Structure 1
Amino acid sequence: MRYYLLLLLLVLSFNGFGWQERNLLQKKADVAQLKSALINHQKWVSYPAYNDRQGWDKLTLGVKEEIIERGEQALTHEWEVVSATDYLEFERSGSRDIMQNPFGRNNSALADLVLAELAEGKGRFLDQISNGIWLSCEMTSWALSAHVSREQAENTSLPSYKENIIDLTAGDMGSFFAWTYYFLKDELAKVQPLIPERLRENLQTRILDPFMNRSFWWMATNATPETMVNNWNPWCNFNVLTCFLLLENDPDKLAQAVYRTMESVDKFINYTHEDGACEEGPSYWGHAAGKMYDYLALLSQATNGKVSVFDQPMIKNMGEYIAKSYVGSGWVVNFADASARGGGQPGLIFRYGKAVESTEMQQFAAYLFERDGGKNVYQSGRDMYRTLENLLSNNELSETSPAVPQEPFTWYPETEFCYMRNASGFFLAAKGGYNNESHNHNDMGTFSLYVDNTPMIIDIGVGTYTRQTFSSERYSIWTMQSNYHNLPMINGEAQAFGARYRSKNTEVNESKSSFSVDLANAYPDEAKINTWRRTYRLQDDKLLLEDKFSLSEIKGANQLNFMTWGLPKTEKPGIITIEKEGKSIQLKYDPQQFEAGVETVEVTDPRLTKVWGNQVYRLSLNARQQKLRDNYKITIQKR
């Protein structure tokens, strides 16, 4: 019986943090035990050597021609120089893309070239690979302009030549180049020995030495229960682990380095709620729990299974979150910065599911594989490990029966995510939580509603990242504000940002399909709220929303906001119709209590337009009278 199957679960206290001193990895081995367990000199690698042509033919069966074709296209790639002003554009205008785009195109070309050379084995891609390696080694840093100033002494987005930092992309490139060196060092030496020599030296000075000699923020070295530890931690640690396992052949140094990554990843596991939900949303699951899986899988492989925590229930919970958060038809539950479109990488989800013995994950992965036609699912760009693992698991994945989870009720008691389905095709996602989660929006108590897998009342997500997105200006961006989520404005006040702005007295009743939370603590003191209890009840053919509140003072207007994909139209006072993609719902309210208004919200950011198109809408129900106490009731049903 699942942990949430209770007739009534009342969460009386919620501190917003999942921190628990589990230290699962450190309990498996100390440095001495780890040294004994580690398989040295890359003998743990299960992929064929470069000269094993039969092995590569088997590994790339069915996709070899496609791999080689992509490599051939990259043979004519014009290597792009990332200039100093490209980096500086981040601090001048806030744009990340000016620097990231040419850098990304170079790295994608390199990934295609290396994989093509491994698949074909004739040496015709080596010159262009050498060009890409040489250009990369000429760069001051592999870190992104958006990340360097956080760690380096100079407060600028231009990388300093005086120090090396490890961010997400520097780590990715380190991992990718470690695999390139492992497979191709002898072949690259035939082009010119300085090429693999310089690459190895770069990996030492850019990844291995900095990791051992300093503490980056993502390592969470001195983390406390109040420290946020997000996807950077497993992502960067996975890359560092890869580099050490592929490059370091001194047993003592290797054990020390691997244990240092274990201490760090334990901080991520300690931070994560036992229920396993990803507070950053499905778009980040692959970088958070997914990267943790990659790390754990690699660590287990390199120790012949002696250091493994896949039997821990919370590790399974963290994996199954990605399947349970899938609505259908390509739509996912998208709180925080996550996109509403997605589903995840089939190969990754499948392997994670195998590791934790989750049939649900394996079948969901097979569904995604089938949905995408089984095409290009092996390709993971510069993430060479996932590409290789995808190639290994593709056949087994293709033979797995597909299925999409259809659970009527899913509850994450610590993260406070609640999903409900009914037989009429409604899918409701609601949340409690607090307003200082990773990639936070001020959205405590919000909900999204899907009808027959079509989003009707939506969470729009986040636009293209800029300097402003992760700065003191974050909550000046409309997508982050509670008034552009499905929440009330109370006494003229929107929700506030910070760890103190959190849920209170959350109640969940599975038998009645209800989720209820007091929103009062999510608003500033100026809102003068005693209580504001919002309740969602999903019945057989409708959703009931109720706001019951008490204020200590009347200062401003109350307004119920609903973000919609389709244009809300007033049929008559008290009835709003919303239509989209052949689906239609009616939202009913008391016209004596509210006056309805509709605002068209123009969408121009490409990250959002590819999901929602050029506009969405905000339906506002404006209270006609301000009262210290009242009860608002909304009904939503199919039209």
Structure 2
Amino acid sequence: MERSELLAIVSSMEKAELGLYYPNGDQESFWSLVRESSSYEKELSEIRQEGERLSAVPVPELSYSLFSIYSLTGSRLEYERVYFERRRMMNTFTFLSLIEPERKEHLNQLGDILWSICNEFTWCLPAHLGTENMDRTIDLFSAETGFALSEIRILLGDRLAPLLHSRIQEEVRKRLFMPYLTYGPYSWETATHNWAAVCAGSIGSAALLILEDPEVLTDILKRVQVSMNCYLEGFGEDGACLEGLGYWNYGFGYYVYYADLLRKRSKGALNGFALEKVHSIAGFQQKCFLNGDLIANFSDSQPEGRVHMGLSHYLSAMYPDVQAPPLSLRAAYHEDHCSRWAPAFRNLIWKDTTKDPLEWGAASYYLPDAEWLLSRHADADNAGTYGFAAKGGHNDEPHNHNDLGQFILLGNGTVYLSDLGSGEYTSAYFGEARYSYDCNGSQGHSVPIIDGQYQVAGAEAKAVVLKAETSLTEDVLVLELSGAYLQSNLHSLNRSFVWQKREFPTLTMSDEFHFAEAPAALIERFVTFCQPLLDKGSVILKGKDDRGLRILYDASLLLPIITEHSYRDHFGAHKTWLGIDFHSLKPAKNERYVFEFQFINNLK
């Protein structure tokens, strides 16, 4: 769109007001409904509990000692825990001020934390700052903070002191608008992942809420649209988010928050939901869940998933084929350890209290651009619920793991073959040592180890899909994986998955290797958190309620050895995982290993 055309639309916009959020702009009626409706009982209880906790403690300080930890050790958690606690205070006291407007102490506490956040040395995290021109840096969290403050300023209106109004305006201008327009372009502006959507979307949203000068607002919106287009380029037509479900919630969430405000302020003239690709991306969430809250957690993703109910209901209303999630998957108020304002607020204002959908049913999906196969299976005769996921792709994806051929297998609430997901974010985690971490390197995935060598990183390390089919009874994925290994001796490696959806489903996986010369060593590794039991030609993994999984293999070809490994998860907790390493007894030039995975209903 030409600038002149955009300027004409911006010039016709009415002032940002409460009608962006509530029917007829009636904020008082909405929060009265929230107080009185049983549909919001859990949310209110969670917010009030946080309010009681936070009211009993002073605003924590972001000290120099905390700030310097990252530069000294590479550790992020110490500073970020305090930073996010301060955002939790901002969110909680804002909500309490809206829910219980008669209680003046909430507004006083809100004023203190808003003032304190405006006083912060930087709204960025130390991990995202260099040593020079720190006042020019805009990262995810500085942009989110500016968006949050701008929105809170509108919602509280004249209940906030004029000094707080002007202070918020000035800090957002100084920390976001001025550097964005003066010192860019920033590297994230053309990123094809979550940074583009979150940073640009937050700046654009803050501008829509604060700026009155149509010329300046036009300049910002025009640049934001470039970033949003770049963000969408990171998706294939299948709508899959290669960063995983958590980053779909994050990046696509901020795309939606911005697109919603833009559509409303422009009276529909600027509609970021009209593209078919956006429609496709909106349907990604419902495909990721394999059994209850257990998801296909490829990349830097958590094994359990929760949904932002407000975002989910908004998308379900926008696109009829996007299914509203079961209420059992609702993310509780305290679950977002980053305490992001935008999704927390919309979990309330976008919640559709008329929806009470059932659990997501059986379904299989093949996403051809991502090369992911995803399947939920539920037996009608109550044999259980099961899930399977496998991936091809390449080893230069956003938040990349070297994981071509990786697969996940679960049943009745137990993940038998796992993906470690995201580890603790440190400087080294995103540095040259990234693939030394089990979470990221192929050593921590259920893929072969050839002559002691793991998969390599890079876009040239890619899978070739030979076959991909889904049906009511059987799903098939066949991948050629030799490109993942720097092995001139390896001519080909075909990995085949056949997922048969019976009363008790079975997975048959085979690897067929062809070498120029016989390798010295060949290991088939499977990753699990379950304790394996070796049992005469099979390995048994115990699940919940005397259920389990049996892994059948050819004992004349392979010898299973259990190895123990450890890592730190995303929250810094020490975790132990087990490798079931099937060693080839006498590897030859041509080898084919077949594994059958059978679910067991009674281990007694």
Same fold? TM cut 0.5: yes
Determine the structure 1 residue equivalent to 2:346.
389
- Render the CA deviation track for 1:368-401: whole Å, top value 9, x for unaligned: x2455x965999985444344332333x245343
Contact 2:202 2:254 in 1 (8 A): no
1:211 is aligned to: 180
One of 177, 193, 200 as aligned partner of 1:230: 193
Partner of 1:631: 592
Give me the TM-score of the superposition, normalised by structure 1: 0.85
Paired position in structure 1 for 2:497: 536
Counterparts of 2:277 and 2:2, CA distance in 1: 16
Note closer, same or farther for the CA distance 1:136–1:78 as it changes in structure 2 (3 Å cut).
same
Displacement of 1:195 after TM fit? 3.5
Deviation, structure 1 residue 82: 1.3
1:522 aligns with 2:484: yes
Alignment match of 2:93 (pick from 80, 94, 113): 113
Counterpart Cα distance in 1 of 2:340 and 2:577 = 35
Separation of aligned partners in 1, 2:413 and 2:457: 31
C-alpha distance in structure 2 between counterparts of 1:595 and 1:378, whole Å: 43
Aligned residue number for residue 124 of structure 2: 143
Q: Identify which of 105, 108, 118 aligns with 1:124.
A: 105
Q: Is the 8 A contact 1:175 1:240 kept in 2?
A: yes
CA contact (8 A) 2:87 2:340 kept: no
TM-superposition CA deviations, 1:597-632 (whole Å, max 9, x none): 0112345547486xxx95331101101112111211
Task: Decide which of 543, 546, 557 is 2:521's aligned counterpart.
Answer: 557
Greater relative contact order (Cα 8 A, min sep 6): structure 1 or 2?
Answer: 1
Conserved 8 A contact 1:420-1:428? yes
The residue that corresponds to 1:303 in the other structure is: 266
Alpha-carbon distance between aligned partners in 1 of 2:356 and 2:291, rounded to the nearest angstrom? 19
Alpha carbons of structure 1 residues 626 and 296: separation in structure 2 relative to 1, 3 Å: same
| 3-state SS of 2:554 partner | coil
Equivalent residue for 1:290? 253
SS at match of 1:492: coil
Matched, 1:461 2:421: yes
Q: What's the counterpart of residue 358 of structure 2?
A: 402
Counting only pairs closer than 5 Å after superposition, residues 432-581 of structure 1 correspond to structure 2 as 432-511=392-471, 512-524=474-486, 526=487, 528-539=489-500, 540=502, 541-572=505-536, 574-581=537-544
Q: Give the Cα separation in 2 of the matches to 1:378 and 1:464.
A: 17
Asked if 2 retains the 8 angstrom alpha-carbon contact of 1:173 and 1:382, the reply is no
Who is 1:166 aligned against?
138
Pair 1:261-2:224 in alignment: yes
- CA offset digits 1:196-232 (Å, max 9, x no partner): 3222211110011122221221111xxxxxxx52111
Shift of 1:331: 0.5
Shift of the 630–370 alpha-carbon distance from structure 1 to 2, 3 Å rule, reads closer
Contact 1:68 1:119 in 2 (8 A): no
Distance 1:438-1:30 versus aligned 2 partners, 3 A rule:
farther
* Paired residues of 1:537 and 1:544 also in contact (CA < 8 A): yes
- Structure 1 CA distance, aligned partners of 2:431 and 2:92? 35
Given residue 217 of structure 1, which amino acid in structure 2 is its aligned partner?
A: S
Q: CA RMSD in A?
A: 2.8
Deviations 1:494-520 (A, max 9, x none): 100111111124321335521011010
Deviations, residues 3-40 of structure 1 (Å, cap 9, x unaligned): xxxxxxxxxxxxxxxxxxxxxxx599952453256444
TM-score, normalized by length of structure 2? 0.89
Q: Bigger shift: 426-435 or 72-81?
A: 72-81
How much does 1:442 deviate?
A: 0.6
Match of 1:244 in 2: 207
Contact 1:483–1:489, Cα closer than 8 Å, also in 2: yes
Amino acid at match of 1:567: Q
2:374 is matched with 419
**Aligned amino acid, residue 252 of structure 1:** E
Are 1:87 and 2:42 counterparts? no
Quick one: structure 1 residues 519 and 381, their matched pair in 2 at CA, closer, same or farther if it must change by over 3 Å? closer
Pair 498,30 (structure 1): closer, same or farther in 2 beyond 3 Å:
farther
1:182 aligns with 2:154: yes
Offset of residue 164 of structure 1: 2.9
Query: Structure 1 residues 375 and 86, CA, compared in 2 at 3 Å: closer, same or farther?
Result: closer
Measured against aligned partners, the alpha-carbon deviations of 1:26-59 in whole angstroms (never above 9, x if no partner) come to: 5999524532564444475234899964453235
Change (3 A) 1:486 1:470: same
User: Is 1:56 aligned to residue 18 of structure 2?
Assistant: no
Contact 1:176–1:382 (8 Å) recurs in 2: no
The equivalent of 1:277 in structure 2 is 240
* Secondary structure in structure 2 of the residue aligned to 1:140: coil
> 2:337 & 2:522 partners in 1: Cα distance?
48
Unaligned runs of 5+ in 1: 1-25, 155-159, 221-227
Which deviates the most, 113-122 or 252-261?
A: 113-122
Query: Following the alignment from structure 1 to structure 2, what is the Cα–Cα distance between the partners of residues 70 and 377?
Result: 8
Q: Provide the secondary structure at the position in 1 that maps to 2:535.
A: strand
Alignment check: 8 A CA contact 1:492 1:555 kept: no
Match of 2:581 in 1: 620
Alpha-carbon distance in structure 1 between the residues aligned to 2:349 and 2:371: 37
Where structure 2 has 5 or more consecutive residues not aligned to the other structure, the ranges are none
Tell me what 1:584 maps to.
548
Q: Is the 8 A contact 1:107 1:382 kept in 2?
A: yes
Counterpart of 2:165 (choices 191, 196, 199) is 196
**Percent of matched pairs sharing the same residue:** 22
